Structure 1
Amino acid sequence: MILFIAKIIIAVVALLHFYFLWLEMFAWTTKAKKVFRNFPEDLFEPTKTLAANQGLYNGFLAAGLVWSLIIQDPQWQIYVALFFLGCVAVAGIYGALTASKKIFTVQALPALLGIALLLAHQML
């Protein structure tokens, strides 16, 4: 049961990062203005390339998490998931410290929950 819940968390984190990819790569000058209300509106266009780069990295995180869900070997599935959740958690913690505390709740906390569930499953 713990592993099942962990996989749901992994899927949610992956979906969030696919959303971040879309938002930063394809909707930076439109929808992102509504999401990042504290960001100066006149900087969206000049930072479009930087946001797209950031979105691409979020896509890699999402792809790694999806990959972890389809790996056949149960042990490697957990190792890969832990690696990518760890990357997401570190990115979320860094973002919370440097950009917005909200990033911890949206990005790091779900990843840390997934890590905790996977480690709890390993201990059983």
Structure 2
Amino acid sequence: MTTFTLILAALIGFEHLTIMLLEMFAGPHTQSQAFDMPFDFVKQPNTRIALANQGIYNGALGLLIISTLFFFSGTTLLTIMRLLMLFVMIVGAYGGLTVTKKIFGLQLLPATIVFILLFL
């Protein structure tokens, strides 16, 4: 496991923190553009609540990825990071199939690359 791979993993963690910020704090116009959703849908109160709830999960995932880099080392770090990247891959695949295809490139692809690098 190289420093380069760990930096890429940290970037995925920061990506999820950014997604959290968009889901929880961005305005409806920004959210509709970022997530390819109709503006009228995104501005509905129930949608705003659902996006904020989803943001908490993305934030937790991002913090978990980043904190893992500081609290673990060796094979423990490797095992946990593989598990987290697998989780991001599953979430990215589901999001790409159900929300917008760009999630394949923004979440699934980077996590898959790091996942593969963690085995080298």
Q: Does the pair score TM above 0.5?
A: yes
Mapping of residues 78-117 of structure 1, within 5 Å: 78-117=78-117
Aligned-partner Cα distance in 2 for 1:108–1:70: 24
Give the TM-score normalised by the residue count of structure 1. 0.87
1:39 alignment partner, SS class: coil
Partner in structure 1 of residue 18 of structure 2: 19
Once the 2 structures are TM-superposed, how far is the Cα of residue 30 of structure 1 from its aligned partner? 4.5
User: Given that residues 29 and 39 in structure 2 are in contact (C-alpha distance below 8 angstroms), is that contact kept between their aligned partners in structure 1?
Assistant: no
2:119 alignment partner, SS class: helix
User: Given that residues 61 and 87 in structure 1 are in contact (C-alpha distance below 8 angstroms), is that contact kept between their aligned partners in structure 2?
Assistant: no
User: Do residues 54 (structure 1) and 54 (structure 2) align?
Assistant: yes
Aligned-partner Cα distance in 1 for 2:67–2:30: 28
Aligned-partner Cα distance in 1 for 2:93–2:107: 8
Identity %: 31
Instruction: Quickly say closer, same or farther: Cα 1:27–1:76, change in 2 above 3 A.
Output: same
Mapping of residues 1-80 of structure 1, within 5 Å: 3-36=2-35, 38-46=36-44, 47-80=47-80
Aligned-partner Cα distance in 2 for 1:54–1:102: 18
User: 2:21 corresponds to which letter in structure 1?
Assistant: W
User: Given that residues 31 and 37 in structure 2 are in contact (C-alpha distance below 8 angstroms), is that contact kept between their aligned partners in structure 1?
Assistant: no
Once the 2 structures are TM-superposed, how far is the Cα of residue 74 of structure 1 from its aligned partner? 1.2
Give the TM-score normalised by the residue count of structure 2. 0.90
User: 1:21 corresponds to which letter in structure 2?
Assistant: M
Structure 1 regions of 5+ residues with no counterpart? none
User: 1:27 corresponds to which letter in structure 2?
Assistant: A
Q: Superposition RMSD on alpha carbons, in Å?
A: 1.4
Aligned residue pair count? 118
